[in-house]
Structure 1
Amino acid sequence: MAINFDEELVRVEYVIGEDTITETITGRIEVPAEKPDILRIIDVKANLMDVEADIEDGGVNITGNIEAGVIYVADVEEPYLPQPVYFTEGQFGFTNFVDFPEAEPGMNVFTDLNIRRVSYDLIDERTIEITVVLTKFVKVTEYRQIRVITDITGIPEENITEELLRIEDVIGENTVTAVITGQVELPPGKPPIQRILNATADLGEVTAEVTEEGVVVDGNIEAGVLYVADVPEGEFQQPVHFLEGEFNFTQAIDVPGAEQGMTVFPSLNILRVSYDFIDEDTVEVDVVIQFFVKVTEPKQVTVITDIVSDRVEVERELLRVEDVIGEQTVHETITGRINIPAAKPDIERILEANARVIEANAMAETGGVMIEGTIQGELLYVADVPEDEFQQPVHFVEGTFNFDNFVDVAGTEPANNVYSEVTVQRVSFDVLNARTAEITAVLRKFVKVTEFVQLEIITDLVVVSPAVEDECPPSYVVYVVQPGDTLYKIARRYRTTVEALLEANPGIDPHNLQIGQKICIPRGIIDARG
């Protein structure tokens, strides 16, 4: 019976390695000359900017900047100046090399950096030292087109070893950067804007859909503006206010080869936020977003890993891929309470509430993933002080509360690998009493469960035909060309060279071998297995 086989060309993401590291970054920012000295720091926030990851021989070099913003009470000579709250910002850089011995320039790198903690020290009235704890997830891969043998006939089934491989056939990926612009307007009841202290932006719900030759990403941005109100002279009121609003965006990204029904993995990062004062009721917010999308097509491929037969000679290749078990996205609402410390005054009004994930651990269990973590809630509030006691009434307080949640992913086992993203999508608050506020955070949790697979697969084979004595000189035997044969394969099988075969067969066309064609092979180079 003739030996025949089926083969398939797949493009896989070959895993070179991955690692997660934690790093502490410290830098200083100075108050610019046009702003007053610092009396007391109200709040410090930090964001990642301009992050780049470059593949080098032996690893990945990660560089970037920390942009820190400080809201503070100014040390002014006039104690009854209505508005001594100011905002200042600055940047400091970081660099880190992550070792991957097999990494080479030209490979792919995926990074996920998150700020986990921010702390500060007031060095002097014009200098703040800021410490940021970063976690960095780094994964190095290489796209490879691999020819796999998926089926073979003509050899007894018991002599063939197969394995079912679940892979993501990579169609393509793309990264684009776009500026999203929206306007935030004052709602009724809030005083007009005199001066903007700071503007922030967070990503809300994001969806991505694969279209023909591309991906469309839809989402919304939640913008916040901290501002100084324009109050009439002689009328004292706390002039610091917070304004928020949201606006939508749609971004089309080209991915050649993409088709509806394929799978897309989107990753969005806010690179920069700026603002323009339009009028006393309107602020325009510009958000620079980096969009990354990867389109894949899940496939189940039966690959041949071993053949026991003296009728074929095989070519093997080591395959290292992630076998995708499953992925899931869920939303969860977490509620926690923040109590005002004894040293701080009562709450009159909350200006702004924020929440961020400072720790998240994902563990594979039977049937799913357990996610445990900690949220840090933050409140910027106006203090309730007696009318005859003037003091700067803007204060900041924070507190932590824990969460845990089991995410169902069928087929998960404890030994599997988990990649997770936990982000805060929406924050709201309630003032329970003068000393307690309740923060509600909506979390988005994405988990992907994989199993690292490393195995040798058969990528090619040479069918060995019995040598017959015919049409060749006495010192030669005849080889009959089989399906899939090339002159190179035949030469390799008989441990000779293409040049030697051409010399022995001067009339053949090496680029146009025909099935059944006979080739003369010198007896002296035929291996015993032939």
Structure 2
Amino acid sequence: MAINFKQETVKVDYVIGEDTVRESITREVEIPVDEKPNIERVLEVDTSIRNVTAEAEDGGAVLEGVIDVGVIYVADAPEEEPQQPVHYFTGTFEFTNFIDIPEAEEGMDAFGDVNIIRATYDFVDERTVEVTVVIRKFAKVTDLRQITIVTDVKGIKEDLIERELLRIESVIAEDLEQVIVRGELDVPPEKPPVERVLKVDLDLVDEIQVDVTDDGVIVDGTFEGGIVYVSTEEDQSVHFAEGIIEFSEVIDLPGVEPDMSAFVDVFLKRFDFRLRNEGTVVEVEALVEFFTKVTQPKQVKVITDILDDRVEIEEELLRVEEVIGEDTVVDTVTEQLIVPNGKPDIERILEVNAQLRDPMGQVEDGGVAIEATIQGKVLYVADIEDQPVHFFSDDFDFTNFVGIPGAEVGMSSYIDVRLKRVRATQLNQRTVEMTATLVKFAKVTDFRQLTIVSDIVVVSPVVDDPVCDRPSRVVYVVQPGDTLYKIAKRYRSTVAAIVDANDIVNPDKLEVGQKLVIPKCIIDEPEEPPKPPKPPLG
């Protein structure tokens, strides 16, 4: 029976390497404006991370991001204001780190994820707080590669063929596109018009909406903008105004379909602004870069070896993350927050919010166990005579399970947990019931490294006379996918012998249907030169 085989070409993210490291970052944040009073006592410091980017370089990946810090404190009020009001100010600091991934090269794809594990603070002086943040950084570098896989062979006994089932994310399309996003930041009617802009900040809100359609991806998102400006009033007072700029962009990607998955990274490259409408509107024009990748789960049976001397195989090392499954679930967590001893009773709740700390995912049989800490924060008016404002916080842990069939202990997971909404009910003067709605995404993968068969050369039977001086000859008709190397292997000849016998000018160019005279003989394998001795240690 003739030997035939099928090949399939797939695009995959070839895993170059990944690593997770921890780091402690310490910075000082100061009260930014003179109008705010000095600090008597710090009540709470909250931190969050935004604008995390990852870029592959030779030997590793560079992670960059911004840490936002918010400080709630009791003001050092003068004697005529004994109630010591609560104030709040914010600060930011950036971080840049290099994570070693030895085989990484510039131009490859990089993914980064940074989480805050713990945040502590120290009182420096009446205007300054020192904040220490411990972060966990994960970086992975991949390279988009097109790989040919032999998926089926006919004409060879099944027990001589070794196969493995592989579930991969096949890359359907990817695109890097830059567009101009325009929008306006309005000065509120109660604030004076702008005489001169001192500073404009524009930040991307982390949550973007991605919808895959036929032949394209729609990306919706929001930029938050802030303006610090000198007003047109006589005293030229400095004011602040903020607003949002929404965008919706269609990325054309022929061949994608709605049931596929899309990953989109949005980068703000630069922006310009100008005043409009007599200083009541700041018009912003931003250059935004969209990196879009669309993938589709694919299950293929790959051939890893063929134990038959009638064929010679070409092999290739494949290193990919096999996708086991993923899911997104919405869950609600309810916890009671108790006013600490020493603080007065609650008259009225002013504000309740929460912060998510150190989310962790652990793969178990059948899914992912997600653990995290939620810090509930309550700002309230005290039930005492002068009704001062007080603040307290309380931490509680939660554990949830996201079911993913096929997940097993030892596999890897990627999780993304977000607080969608926080509600609060005052149960009594000492108890607040907080309800937090969580959106949890979990994806389970298994790193696979295996050698696959990428091509097969069918070898003709050995001729009786191994002498090449008077070789037998056959006439061969070139088939699709043939190369001189494959044909020479098939008939135990050499590329040089075929070129000479057919007066071939360009050995790299064959035409389907072309007839070739093949000199057929057994080629002795040259002896492998001896390896040089290893240098002595030390």
Where on the TM-score scale, by shorter chain, does this alignment land: which range?
Answer: 0.7 to 0.9
The equivalent residue for 1:161 is 162
2:212 corresponds in structure 1 to 210
Q: Is the 8 A contact 1:338 1:438 kept in 2?
A: yes
Corresponding residue for residue 486 of structure 1: 483
Aligned to 1:60: 61
Q: Spell out, residue by residue over 1:97-154, the C-alpha distance to the aligned partner (whole angstroms, 9 max, x if none).
A: 2221222212111111123433221101121101122222222111110011111222
Output aligned runs, 1:462-481, within 5 Å: 462-466=457-461, 474-478=469-473, 481=476
Aligned to 1:114: 115
User: Measured at CA, do residues 477 and 79 of structure 1 come closer, stay the same or move farther in structure 2, by a change above 3 Å?
Assistant: farther
Which deviations, in whole Å up to 9, do the C-alpha atoms of 1:268-297 show, x marking residues without a partner? 78999xxxxxxxxxx99x9x9997653101
Q: 1:166 to 1:136 in 2, by over 3 A?
A: same
1:245-264 counterparts in 2 under 5 A?
251-254=248-251, 256-264=253-261
| Residue 427 of structure 2 is aligned to residue 451 of structure 1 | no
Q: Which residue is equivalent to 2:10?
A: 10
In structure 2, what is the equivalent of residue 349 of structure 1? 348
Corresponding position of 1:23:
23
1:414 equivalent in structure 2? 409
CA separation in 2, counterparts of 1:150 and 1:527? 30
Aligned length: 486
Shift of 1:163: 1.9
| Inter-CA distance 182–165: structure 2 relative to 1 (3 Å threshold) | farther
* Equivalent residue, structure 1, for 2:152: 151
Following TM superposition, by how much is the alpha carbon of 1:473 offset from its aligned partner in structure 2, in angstroms? 8.8
Corresponding position of 2:529 = none
Question: Is the 1:6–1:152 contact (alpha carbons within 8 Å) kept by the matching residues of 2?
Answer: yes
How far the C-alpha of 1:168 sits from its partner, in A, is 1.0
Q: Distance in 2 between the 1:180 and 1:266 partners?
A: 25
Counterparts of residues 192-211 of structure 1 (less than 5 Å) = 207-211=209-213
Deviation at 1:370, TM superposition (A): 2.0
Kindly report which structure 2 residues correspond to 1:55-454, keeping only aligned pairs within 5 A, or say none.
Answer: 55-77=56-78, 79-80=80-81, 86-173=87-174, 207-217=209-219, 251-254=248-251, 256-266=253-263, 293-387=292-386, 393-454=388-449
Question: Distance in 2 between the 1:193 and 1:71 partners?
Answer: 26
Q: Assess if the C-alpha contact under 8 Å between 1:467 and 1:479 holds in 2.
A: no
2-structure distance, mates of 1:259, 1:339: 52
In 1, Cα distance between the equivalents of 2:262 and 2:378? Answer: 34
Q: Which moved more, 1:260-269 or 1:413-422?
A: 260-269
Cα shift at 1:8: 1.1
Whether the 8 Å CA contact 2:459–2:489 is kept in 1: the answer is: no
**Aligned partners of 2:128 and 2:74: how far apart in 1?**
14
1:503 aligns with 2:500: yes
Matched AA of 1:92: F
Residue 37 of structure 1: how far off its partner (Å): 2.3
Moved more, 251-260 or 439-448: 251-260
Say which is worse superposed, 103-112 or 510-519, in terms of deviation.
510-519
The Cα offsets for residues 140-192 of structure 1, whole Å up to 9 and x where unpaired, read as: 1111100111112222222222222111111234577968889999xxxxxx9
The amino acid of 1:525's aligned partner reads: I
Residue of structure 1 equivalent to 2:276 = none
Aligned-pair CA distance for 1:259: 2.1
Residue 30 of structure 2 aligns to which amino acid in structure 1?
A: E
Superposition CA RMSD, Å = 4.3
Local SS of the residue matching 2:517: strand
Confirm or deny: 8 A CA contact 2:115 2:358 kept in the other structure: no
Contact 1:110–1:139, Cα closer than 8 Å, also in 2: yes
Asked if the contact 1:42–1:394 (Cα under 8 Å) also holds between the matched residues in 2, the reply is: no
What residue identity is the alignment partner of 1:212? D
Question: Residues 364 and 84 of structure 1: is their aligned pair in 2 closer, same or farther, counting only changes over 3 Å?
Answer: closer
Cα separation, 1, equivalents of 2:335 and 2:223: 24
CA change 1:442–1:222 in 2 (3 A) is farther
How far did 1:445 drift? 1.0
Q: 1:513 to 1:337 in 2, by over 3 A?
A: same
CA distance in 2 between partners of 1:447 and 1:411 (Å) = 13
| d(CA) in 2 for partners of 1:399, 1:263 | 42
Tell me which amino acid in the other structure corresponds to 1:28: E
- Taking the aligned partners of 1:270 and 1:358, their CA distance within structure 2 comes to 26
In the alignment, the residues of structure 2 paired with residue 350 and residue 40 of structure 1 have an alpha-carbon distance, to the nearest angstrom, of 21
Q: Which amino acid aligns with 2:12?
A: V
Q: Which AA in structure 1 matches 2:500? A: E
Stretch deviating more after TM superposition (263-272 or 105-114): 263-272
CA–CA distance in structure 1, aligned partners of residues 410 and 3 of structure 2: 39
Unaligned runs of 5+ in 1: 186-191, 224-245, 273-282
Contact kept in structure 1, 2:492 and 2:520, CA below 8 Å: no
TM-score normalised per structure 2: 0.77
Q: CA deviation at 1:85?
A: 5.1
* Stretch of structure 1 that moved more, 35-44 or 428-437: 35-44
Q: Summarize the Cα distance change of 1:25–1:527 in structure 2 as closer, same or farther, 3 Å threshold.
A: closer
User: Structure 1 CA distance, aligned partners of 2:207 and 2:59?
Assistant: 38
Paired residues of 2:24 and 2:135 also in contact (CA < 8 A): yes
Which piece of structure 1 moves more, 418-427 or 156-165?
156-165
**Bigger mean CA offset, 499-508 vs 332-341:** 499-508
CA deviation after TM superposition for structure 1 residue 418, in Å: 1.7
- Partner Cα separation in structure 1 for residue 344 and residue 84 of structure 2: 18
1: CA distance between counterparts of 2:62 and 2:247? 32
Deviations 1:49-98 (A, max 9, x none): 55332322222222333232334444343633999554433333323222
Distance 1:375-1:82 versus aligned 2 partners, 3 A rule: closer
Letter in 2 for 1:512: L
CA 1:83/1:173 → structure 2, altered by over 3 Å: closer, same or farther?
A: farther
Q: Using a 3 Å threshold, how does the CA distance of structure 1 residues 522 and 220 change in structure 2: closer, same or farther?
A: closer
Distance in 2 separating the partners of 1:297 and 1:452: 18
Tell me, in whole angstroms, the C-alpha distance in 2 between the residues paired with 1:346 and 1:290: 52
2:472 is paired with a residue of what secondary structure? strand
Normalising by structure 1, we get a TM-score of 0.78
**Identity percentage over the alignment?**
47
- Using the TM superposition, give the Cα deviation of residue 478 of structure 1 relative to its aligned residue in structure 2, in angstroms: 2.6
Native 8 Å contact 2:463 2:521 kept in 1: no
1:487 maps to a residue whose letter is L
Cα shift readout 1:204-238 (whole Å, capped 9, x = no counterpart) = 98653211332224579999xxxxxxxxxxxxxxx
**Counterpart contact for 2:168–2:297, Cα < 8 Å:** yes
Instruction: Note closer, same or farther for the CA distance 1:163–1:382 as it changes in structure 2 (3 Å cut).
Output: same
- CA-CA distance at 1:428 after TM superposition: 0.8
CA contact (8 A) 1:117 1:133 kept: yes
